[in-house]
Chain A
Amino acid sequence: MEILATHRLSFTYPNATIPALKDISIQVKQGEFVVLCGPSGSGKSTLLRLFKPEIAPHGIKEGTLFFQGKPLQEVTPIVNAKELGMVFQDPENQIAMDNVLEELIFGMENLGFTTEQMRKKVAEMVNFFGLNPLLDKKIDELSGGQKQLLNLASILLLEPSVLLLDEPTAQLDPIAAKEFIHMLQRLNEEFGITIVIVEHRLEELFPIASRVILFDNGVLLHDTTPREMVKELGTHKTMKSFLPSSALLYLEFYKKAHAETIPLNVKETRQWLQGEHVEWDEPSEVSSAAAVPSPILELKEVDYQYSKNTPAVLYNLDLTIYEGEWLAIVGANGTGKSTLLKVIGGILKAQHGSMKYKGKKVRKWEPRKVSYLPQNPKLFFIQDTIRKEFEHLALKHGERNPEERIQNLLNKFGIAHLQNQHPYDLSGGELQKAALIGSLLVEPTILLIDEPTKGLDPESKRAFGELVSTLVDEGLTVVMVTHDIEFSATYATRCSMLFQGKITVTENTRDFFHENTYYTTVLNRATRNSSAYPVVTLEEARRIWRVKSPF
């Protein structure tokens, strides 16, 4: 039975010339797991929101939306609130109340449940989600992943028949994201809840989705099964980056593959490789003797504690950063990655240890030497428009000819047309670039980047990676902390693992991921100990593998 449908739906935002959605007709059947994907601004979130009239964007809507065969405007708001549950992107902002229990019952209170009903349902839900230890906690004691699970639970308490999710894992670390998606899979399989999810992180979603719908510029491009989608997009220039890397590896060698044979996860890739004969060129050892770069920043025996009674976040940490490298520091949540970056940046002062810049001890940074790109690029801006921000910054640091330099950078990064906009009106990728310009304005030698890929779609991620790569080629030293293994594997030159407050290992990116068994890219997990030479990235496979194609 059809549970959600649109018929020739078009939507135009006020003052926009191009419609955000054009002539969309889709049907979602009960119990389906549908993934909506596409680049930022392709209209997928708009579509999701149109199903909730109370929070739908303003604009001109043509066509009809249906819920259980009834036009949406005939569905009463109460039924809509109960039956269509919606989870949003930011885990923090969705939470209205101050503690976990109050938040869980918020929706039920709105719909007038009695205390007995609430007690019963909460008991059920808390057991299902394992939220017991959290029940009496304050919201600000929870991690991002816990917050998002809480949001999901508080919506499920209303027993919705459809879950609409708008990039629910974009702000989560990979482990929490996996856990969240796993929970969605359980809800779909064990309870038959229909799921419609907008998401950029598709690696985990492709294997469990029953359908994938692709949008571009408000037009529905494809609406098909995940495997068919892989086949359709395998040759597409930009949309390709949405596909799981296993599928991309396969398509690299079988351009005209049958949809059923395409592997979507590690297990299927390994099965494919078992029956495959792959030859390879032994990768030539990169001659590292060419020029030993000089260390630009040396940290020795650094300790950091937030307060006397809490355990040390960083303990006896040594780290050497070389000139002109892109160092990625990876590690699990709460290992002190961001703290380390703040210590390097001088925001936090280490209780013990020393930091040397080109051999000289650093007491206080001159702003020209080090710049910082925060996790949330919105925080970088304290002026109304991005151009004012740059001018303000240039004035502060007495930059000569700031106007010329600003315009150069704006042009170089391709966002010159946005310079008079308010920073919050920019998309995630554009804002990231704008903040990057701001941090480059003072011509720093070291750039610190905190979790740059959070919430970016694959295309913006790629653009950002390449942009920073060119900067590194021009001589900038970049230190980045991140959860994003695939991103580090593709762009960083060296990788460090932070564990128990120490850097446990630092190696060239390729060696680093080759030697890791669990903490490594999907492709490396799929190809290690297989019949083929293990690779870390698709790029590497393309270079050294030779698959005898039967086609």
Chain B
Amino acid sequence: MVRGFRSFHPIILLLYYLFAMAALMLYQHPMFLALATVAILLMNFMLDGGLELRKWRAMILIMAVLTLVLTPFFNQRGNHLLFYLFEKQVYLEAIWQGVMISLTLVCILTLFLTFNLVITPDKFVFLFSKIMPQWALLTMLSLRFVPLLRKRLLEIGDVQSIKGFSLKTGSVKGRAQSGMLFLQTLLTWSLEESIQTADSMTARGYGLGKRSKYQPYYMKKRDWLAFAFLLVSGSLVLFGWWLGDGVLTLLPVLEPVWLSGREWLYWILFFMMIGFPIWTEGKEMVKWKFLRRIG
């Protein structure tokens, strides 16, 4: 979808992730975090059909369950003693804390999965170059070398294996020796070849004056609108945290978990902000589904 969440200016996207991360860390309340988990999982499914999520599913689950189980076990503070486990007290407060920590973990990890889908390497380099142009160029140059060196090492291995120097067969010592020789060859060869790269860069005027940078992205009207939305909702969410509406007080007295009054307002605001990708991506999905039928 050309106009989905991913089509926003990288800076807007980065801003969203910064706000979302901050909100997840600050709002330590099961009701808020549960909502965020649902929203972010939904976002994962909308962006790539849950493909990336499936790859990490097991690891995320294990981590969540471990924190959920272990927190009450180590946290020995609270007023509501529930039961004893291996002669240790288990408190209700500690269980809620476990729930919150594990939900935060799930949220942050799954949010990061979408970060990888949304901030593709070219967007990342673009953002990076805003801060440190020289380093961004260096990153680009080295990016090119990763597949190149891999390919070259494979070539060396192929040619040498017919000569009888192999990494796959022979004694450990022999293999290690061959390996060192291969790496040394890779290094000399690549250095030799990169002189030509340097020549070609110089011939095209590299290092002569101030470099300009091609800007593949520019702020459109919808980017400004999104910027305004994120700024307003983000500040309100921060304000809510400052008021203490999104934090579950555990000690000295456990606050009721169910929300009340003004907290519902912030709950909705929180959802609006975290769910920003869902609106933008969802709008496009709906458009596709219904507009096609009219045609």
Q: Which residues of A contact B (CB under 8 A)?
A: 52, 54-55, 77-78, 81-82, 85-86, 88, 90, 92-99, 101-102, 105-115, 118-119, 138-140, 151, 154-155, 158, 342, 345-347, 365, 367, 370-372, 374, 376, 378-383, 393, 396-397, 424, 438-439, 448
Contacts and interface: CB of A to CB of B under 8 A. Distances in A.
Given A81-B204, A367-B162, A424-B192, A96 B156 contact: no
B193 A90 contact: yes
Interface in B114-171: 122, 140-141, 143-144, 147-148, 151, 155-156, 158-165
A382 B184 CA distance: 8
Given A55-B203, A77-B205, A380 B159 contact: yes
B197 A380 contact: no
Contacts of A371: 162-163
A55 B248 CA distance: 67
Contact of B141 (A94, A97, A138, A370): A97
8 contacts: A86-B200, A92-B148, A99-B122, A114-B212, A115-B214, A140-B151, A158-B205, A379-B156
Nearest to B206: A110
A448 B159 CA distance: 11
Name the residue in B160, B163, B216 with the highest tally of chain A Cβ atoms < 10 Å from its Cβ. Answer: B163
Nearest to A376: B155
B162 A396 contact: no
Contacts of B210: 112
Given A54-B202, A346-B162, 6 more contacts: A55-B199, A55-B202, A96-B141, A115-B212, A115-B214, A379-B156
A378 B189 contact: yes
B208 to A, nearest CB: 5
Contacts of B188: 424
Nearest to B180: A382
B252 interface: no
A342 B165 CA distance: 16
B82 interface: no
B205 A78 contact: yes
Contacts of A347: 158, 161-162
Interface of B: 122, 140-141, 143-144, 147-148, 151, 155-156, 158-165, 181-182, 184-185, 188-189, 192-194, 196-197, 199-216
Contacts of A374: 155, 158-159
Contacts of A112: 209-212
Nearest to A115: B215
Given A93-B196, A96-B141, A372-B162, A109 B214 contact: yes
B141 to A, nearest CB: 6
B213 to A, nearest CB: 6
A396 B204 contact: no
B185 A381 contact: yes
Contacts of B164: 367, 393, 396-397
B208 A81 contact: yes
Contact of A98 (B143, B193, B211, B216): B143
A380 to B, nearest CB: 6
A393 B147 CA distance: 29
Contacts of A372: 159, 162-163
A252 B208 CA distance: 53
A464 to B, nearest CB: 18
B172 to A, nearest CB: 16
B204 A93 contact: no
Contacts of B209: 78, 110-112
Contacts of A346: 161-162
Nearest to A116: B215
B197 A95 contact: yes
Contacts of A382: 156, 160, 165, 181-182, 184-185
Contacts of A109: 211-214
Contacts of B215: 115
B204 A158 contact: yes
A94 B162 contact: no
A77 B214 contact: no
A102 B155 CA distance: 27
A155 B197 contact: no
A77 B207 CA distance: 10
Contacts of A376: 155
Given A98-B140, A112-B211, A393 B163 contact: yes
A393 B165 CA distance: 9
B156 A106 contact: no
B208 A77 contact: yes
Contacts of B201: 96, 106
Nearest to A424: B192
B49 to A, nearest CB: 20
Contacts of B141: 96-98
A101 B213 CA distance: 13
Contacts of B199: 55, 88
Given A96-B197, A115-B215, A382-B182, A106 B204 contact: yes
Nearest to A154: B204
A73 B164 CA distance: 53
B7 to A, nearest CB: 15
Nearest to B174: A396
Contact of B208 (A52, A55, A78): A78
B205 A105 contact: no
A452 to B, nearest CB: 14
Contacts of A139: 144
A342 B162 CA distance: 9
B122, B203, B210, most chain A CB atoms within 10 A: B203
B201 to A, nearest CB: 5
Contacts of B202: 52, 54-55
Nearest to A78: B208
B185 A140 contact: no
Given A138-B147, A347-B161, A372-B162, A155 B204 contact: yes
Given A93-B193, A378-B189, A52 B147 contact: no
A88 B195 CA distance: 12
Contacts of A98: 140-141, 143-144
B197 to A, nearest CB: 5
A475 to B, nearest CB: 20
A253 to B, nearest CB: 44
Nearest to B146: A98
A102 B163 CA distance: 39
Contacts of A55: 199, 202-203
Nearest to A105: B214
Contacts of B189: 378-379, 424
Contacts of B196: 88, 90, 93-94
Given A112-B212, A424-B188, A345 B162 contact: yes
